[in-house]
Amino acid sequence: MNSTHHKDAHFFWKNKMYDQEGWIHLVHYHPEQFVAPWEKQVRQFVLDWVREDEFVNVHTSGSTGPPKYMQLSKEVMRRSALMTDAYFELGAGAVTLLCLPVEFIAGKMMIVRTFVNGWTLHFQRPTGKPLLDRLFDFVPMTPMQAANLLTGSRDLGKVKTLLLGGGGIPRKLEARLRTRYRNRAYHSYGMTETATHVAIRAINEKQDNQVFVALPDISFSTSTDGCLIVHAPGLGQSNLHTNDIVRLLDQKHFIWEGRKDNVINSGGIKLYPEQMEKKIATYINSPFFVAGMPDSALGQRAILVIEGREGEVDELRLLGRLNKVLSKYEMVKSIHYLSHFPRTSAGKIIRGQVVDWLKNSIDD
């Protein structure tokens, strides 16, 4: 057994439980057990992880640009796995579920955490509606998965600790988690370079809480343009500059404002689309986002882009509602439609492609 692996690690695969020796044997010698594309990704990552190499190849989701391929230290991944286990007080024997793609770091880290911490990991095909067929101590999900489980027949209450990541969480979903979900729910902030989360925000406290708290031995500062800098020497990142605009409260706490790439400068006023989207999410049922378009008077003007066709939304009614929740500077100047948004393989909207297309089709 690998000296860095925990003796109690178990893997539940296709209705059969394997200890780590049996699991590694299955992965090595029974490729017929891994047929579907997502299953092959699981097998390939386990093979990569148990090799003697010091690094694994990983890549980002590509939601803000082309996916970046990089090598990530296995030691950094081990340390991150230990931090997660300690922060959420899980321990050996914790029953967990992997319902995220192993293609990206969040899915990979669930396998690493199981090896390192002695968890029992159940696998499930990544889908918008995970099947919760038993009690789980810890499950990372996307906001969309959690929203689907809250509205469907599946019982999110079977998850003792829910961790949401992969982007912002709609305000409507947060409100429903506070009123309908009785267990622990958190929002993670992290990236591929740090082997997932470096800060955590509690979601379902009694009051709306937007403050991210650093994990132990991690601290933050900001650059001159207000972007977060992550100091995580234990994870191989002493000064990691991000494109996330934040309001830094102190070295351990911040409030996320939005992506620098998306900030709209309208008449000298900086608008943060992600914050605007949280305010208006209650009033729009289709996928949407706020973007900036060139404007001869303002420099940029805010517009609303909805996935669908013109005529499917009562614009006068919607604009009336938006006018009540957006400030006069934030108020969108027009609404535009696209039948289908381009998305990454992780399901994130590729805003840049839509904005480029709109710039060529909308007159200033």
Which band of pLDDT confidence, cut at 50, 70 and 90, is reported for residue 270?
Answer: confident
Angle, CA 259 vertex, CA 253 and CA 262 arms, to 5°:
155
- Are 187 and 268 members of one domain? no
Which band of pLDDT confidence, cut at 50, 70 and 90, is reported for residue 282?
Answer: confident
State the average pLDDT over residues 101-129: 95
pLDDT tens digit sequence for 286-321: 999 999 999 888 889 999 999 999 888 899 999 999
Residue 2 lies in a domain: no
- Are 285 and 255 members of one domain? no
Contact 14, 33 (CB under 8 A): yes
CA distance linking residue 308 with residue 168, whole number of Å: 22
Residue 1 lies in a domain: no
Q: What pLDDT does 154 receive?
A: 62
- Are 289 and 143 members of one domain? no
Contact 198, 214 (CB under 8 A): yes
State the average pLDDT over residues 211-219: 96
Q: What pLDDT does 64 receive?
A: 47
Domain boundary among 259, 285, 317: 259
- Are 224 and 290 members of one domain? no
Domain boundary among 234, 259, 284: 259
- Are 21 and 127 members of one domain? yes
- Are 254 and 297 members of one domain? no
Q: What pLDDT does 206 receive?
A: 65
Contact 23, 13 (CB under 8 A): yes
Q: What pLDDT does 118 receive?
A: 98
Domain boundary among 201, 224, 259: 259
Of 16, 26, 67, the residue nearest 46 (C-alpha):
26
CA distance linking residue 219 with residue 250, whole number of Å: 9
Residue 4 lies in a domain: no
- Are 31 and 153 members of one domain? yes
Residue 133 lies in a domain: yes
Q: What pLDDT does 176 receive?
A: 87
Quote the domain boundaries for residue 291.
263-361
- Are 178 and 44 members of one domain? yes
State the average pLDDT over residues 173-187: 89
Q: Within 10 A of 223 (CB to CB), how many other CB atoms are there?
A: 14
Which band of pLDDT confidence, cut at 50, 70 and 90, is reported for residue 147?
Answer: confident
List the CATH number of the domain containing 143: 3.40.50.12780
Which band of pLDDT confidence, cut at 50, 70 and 90, is reported for residue 253?
Answer: very high
Which band of pLDDT confidence, cut at 50, 70 and 90, is reported for residue 119?
Answer: very high
Q: How many domains does the chain have?
A: 2
Residue 3 lies in a domain: no
- Are 291 and 171 members of one domain? no
Residue 290 lies in a domain: yes
275 or 9, which is more confident = 9
Give percent of the chain above pLDDT 90.
70
Residue 118 lies in a domain: yes
- Are 97 and 111 members of one domain? yes
- Are 15 and 128 members of one domain? yes
- Are 177 and 315 members of one domain? no
